[in-house]
Amino acid sequence: MMLTGEKTDIWLVKMVGLLSVAIGLVLLNGRKSADKKVLAIAAALAFIVIDVYYTFQGIISQIYLLDAAVQVFFAGWVVFIKSNGHNRL
């Protein structure tokens, strides 16, 4: 919270963290599937939308734009892998 600012709903911070871990565990398992690509892209887009919208509303710190940039990279990487026939996810 030193970077992102104080939070009033700590339970929500923990919930987003646990959901992120759950998504990561699914993406890291050894099985390859189109569903994993959909999950990866959808999760990244969800983080991007929330990060950008609430940053520009002045509700959350601008440091979240860095997270949005990482998510854009991640979503683009997944799309690139899918479109070029690589099957790592």
Angle separating helix axes 10-28 and 34-56, nearest 10 degrees? 150
As given in the structure block, the two tokens for residue 48 are 């991007």
Residue 65 CA to chain centroid, in angstroms? 12
Which pLDDT belongs to residue 63?
94
pLDDT tens for the chain, residues 1 to 89: 777 778 888 999 899 999 999 999 999 987 888 899 999 999 999 999 999 999 999 999 999 999 999 999 989 988 887 666 555 55
As given in the structure block, the two tokens for residue 5 are 């600012």
Q: Give the list of residues 6+ apart from residue 75 with CB closer than 8 angstroms, or none.
A: 40, 41, 44, 45, 48
